[in-house]
A and B are shown apart, each in its own frame.
Chain A
Amino acid sequence: SYELTQPPSVSVAPGKTATITCGGSNIGSQSLHWYQQKPGQAPELVMFYDSARPSGIPERFSGSKSGDTATLTISGVEAGDEADYYCQVWDSDSGQYVFGTGTKVSVL
């Protein structure tokens, strides 16, 4: 089955830039999405189709892809950005949806 790999954790100081990666085979040819999940809450879409921001998501959030790695970048990190982040794709071959392993972003 298809797998997406993320670093377990990322630590960043307030005001700095957090970079969260998501790796998978042939990820360059797939549409990839990102979700933010704060403790005790449901996930929220923060980036879709690699680099599109849903309404209400700050411009500090950006997405990109290169080769077999997708990246979610949070610029000017704030305390409120502390959360778990998950990447996700749709595997068209199986019809199944796949989430990445998740990255916990901690704001120092």
Chain B
Amino acid sequence: ELLVESGGGVVQPGRSLRLSCAASGFTFFSRYHMHWVRQAPGKGLEWVAVIWHDGSHQYYADFVKGRFTISRDNAMHTLDLEMSNLRVDDTAVYYCARVPNGYTSFDLWGQGTLVTVSA
């Protein structure tokens, strides 16, 4: 079972970036709520967003509302995070993680992708 993030890199403040997460090694991707969690350098874990297993609901942390959009493709087993109007304090490793439907704990994490927002 594997989650692999991609799309990180260096971006200027105010610009946009799209992260992706590819799931493999497990069936029924559509039975899992999928999340993005980030960690700024030397800091703690910070939850970013969730999209429900069927894509019907999305919830966001207050600090990203209106700037980030989470989406998924259950046929392709992929999760995306479209980030716009990026700020310097969005600099972090972004992890993709899953929560089984009916549960509230993260049982599988990717290795993360680093986003650096810098002029």
Contact = CB atoms under 8 A, between A and B. Distances in A.
Q: Do A and B come from one complex?
A: yes
Contacts of B59: 94-96
13 contacts: A1-B62, A33-B105, A41-B111, A43-B95, A45-B105, A45-B106, A54-B107, A86-B45, A88-B45, A96-B62, A97-B50, A98-B47, A101-B44
A102 B45 contact: yes
B45 A99 contact: yes
Interface of B: 35, 37, 44-47, 50, 57, 59-62, 95, 103-107, 109-112
A20 B110 CA distance: 25
Q: SS class of chain B's interface: helix, strand, loop or mixed?
A: loop
Nearest to B45: A99
Q: SS class of chain A's interface: helix, strand, loop or mixed?
A: strand
Interface residues of A, number: 27
Interface in A3-59: 31, 33, 35, 37, 41-45, 48-49, 54
A37 to B, nearest CB: 8
A31 B104 contact: yes
B111 A49 contact: no
Contacts of A101: 44
